[in-house]
Structure 1
Amino acid sequence: NVRLHSLKRTLVPGSSEHEDAAVIDQEIQRLDRIVRDVLHFARPAEPRPVTITAGSLFSRVRDLLDSQLEKASIRLSLASSPPLRIRVDPQQIEQVLINLIQNAAESIGRDGTITLRARSTLMPLAGHATPVVILEVIDTGKGIPLKVQERLFDPFFTTKEAGTGLGLSIAARIVEKHGGALQYQTEVDRGTTFGIVLPRVEKNEDEVSTENFTH
C-alpha cells in the first residue's frame, strides 16, 4: 500500500493510470476492512472495564465525529442526562457507538439530527430485574424496512455496496461481552433508536475512572 501511494505521486492526476491506481487503492482499503471485521467477529477481544459516566463516553465520541457529520449538515446532539455510571471497556463501547452513529448518518443522508441520550431503568437481565443504563443513538433518518429488520444482526448481511455485513454483529457481541444487550426501535420515514443496554454501577460500587482513554 505504501508503494502504491508512492506510485500515485509519480502519475499525472487525471490520467487513466492515476485513476486505475486510485481504484486499486480503494479496493485494498475495502479488503483491509473486511479482514479486520472478520478477525474482530471471529476473535473478539476481552473487555478491559473501568467505571466511567455515560456522559464522558458521549463527549468523547462527539469530539471524534462532530466535524465529519457537520460536512453532511448532520447535527450530533447530547441530550441532558444524569451522571449515570457504567463499567465498560471505553474503547470497545466507543467503537459500538461510532458504528451506530455512522449507520444513522447514512440513513439520514443530509440535513438531520442524531441525538445521544442516556437513561436508567429496570430490565430483566440474568433472570431478575436489574438496574441498567441505556445508551441511545436516536436519528431522524428513513427508518429500517421490515425485510432488513428480519436480518439486521445476521453476520455478512448488508445493504451497502462496500459493507461487510459485520458491523452490527460485532457491535452486538461486544455489548453481550459486557453483560448487556443491543436493541432498537424503528419507524419507516420517522427514524430509528438503537439502545446499548448495560448494567448500572451504583454509587458505592466503584469510583469513576479519571483515566484518559485513547485509541
Structure 2
Amino acid sequence: GGERAPSGVALVARDLSAQVRLDRQLVRSEKLAMVGSLAAGLAHEIGTPLNVISATAEFLLPDAGEEARAQLRGIVAETERISRLVRDLLTFARATSPGKTAVALPGAVARVLSLLRITLERRRVRVETRLPDDLPELHADPDGLHQILLNLVVNASQAVAEGGRVVVAARAVEEDGERSVQLEVHDDGPGVPPALRERVLDPFFTTRAEGTGLGLAVVARIVADHGGDLRVGTGPLGGASFTVQLPAEEVR
C-alpha cells in the first residue's frame, strides 16, 4: 500500500480549515454591524404603513367582488411577506446576550412541529423525530432554540418536493469532559452543492425567489451567540443536512 501522510499534515489542514471558518464568521460579523445600525429604524418605518395597508385590505375583503377579493388577498399575503422580512432582519441584527436556562429539546421540537402542522400537511411533508429518551437538557435561550428549530425545519420543508421527508435527530456528545447536544435536521431534497455550503449561511443569500436570505443567517447568529457550532453537509437521505452543536446543561 501507499505511504501514510505524516500526522502533521492533517493537523495543518484542520488548522487552516478552522482559520477559513473564523474568517467567514468575521465577514458575517462585519455585515451584521452594517445591518444592525439600520434595522430598528427600518422596522418602525416599514412596519407602521404595512399594518395600515394590510388592515385596510382585510377590512375591504367581505364586501368586495370575486376578482377584487383575489387581489386583496394578494395584498395581505405580500404585506405579510414584507413583515416577515422585517422580523427576520430585526432578529438577525439585534445584538443579544441570550438568557440561558435548562431546556428540553424534545419539548421544543414538539412545539415547533405543532406550530407548523398545517403548513407541513398542506405539502404532505413527513417529519420524523429521532430524539433519545436520555438526551441531556440544553443550556440555551428557549426563544433562540425555538428560532433555530423553526428556521431549520421550515428551510428543510421548503427544500423537499411535495410528499418529501425531513428528519430531526439529536444525540449527546462528550468531548474533553464537556457535554453538548448535536442536533441534525436533514431532508431528501436536492441538497446544497459544496460550493454553496458556506454561502447559504450568509445574510441575504438565497436560492429561492420568495426567500429573504435571512432564515439560515438567523440560525448561524443564534448558534454563535450560544458558543455553538453549525455545519452544512449532506445527510443520510441524500439531501441537505444542518448540524447544530449546543452546550448541554451541567449536571449538578
Per the TM superposition, whether the score is higher than 0.5 is yes
Whole-Å separation in 2 of the counterparts to 1:4 and 1:140: 39
Deviation string 1:177-200 (CA, Å, 9 cap, x unpaired) is 112122122269811221121112
TM-score, with structure 1 as normaliser:
0.82
Number of aligned residue pairs: give it.
198
| 1:3 aligned residue | 56
Whole-Å separation in 1 of the counterparts to 2:140 and 2:240: 24
Question: Which protein shows a greater Rg?
Answer: 2
Match among 139, 149, 169 for residue 87 of structure 1: 139
- Greater fraction helix: 2
5+ long unaligned stretches in structure 2: 1-53
1:66–1:152: structure 2 CA closer, same or farther, 3 Å change rule?
same
Q: Does the 8 Å CA contact 1:66/1:76 hold for their aligned counterparts?
A: no
Whole-Å separation in 1 of the counterparts to 2:241 and 2:158: 14
3-state SS of 1:152 partner: helix
Q: C-alpha root-mean-square deviation of aligned residues, in Å?
A: 2.2
- Greater fraction strand: 1
Written as runs of structure 1 = structure 2, the 5 A alignment for 1:1-215 is: 1-13=54-66, 15=67, 17-81=68-132, 82-122=134-174, 130-186=178-234, 190-204=238-252
Higher RCO (CA 8 Å, separation ≥ 6 residues): 1
Q: Please, which moves more after superposition, 28-37 or 66-75?
A: 66-75
Give 1:147 shift: 4.1
Please tell me the residue identity of whatever aligns with 2:56. R
Please tell me the residue identity of whatever aligns with 1:119. R
Give 1:97 shift: 0.7
Whole-Å separation in 2 of the counterparts to 1:46 and 1:12: 50
1:172–1:80: structure 2 CA closer, same or farther, 3 Å change rule?
closer
5+ long unaligned stretches in structure 1: 205-215
Q: Does the 8 Å CA contact 1:113/1:140 hold for their aligned counterparts?
A: yes
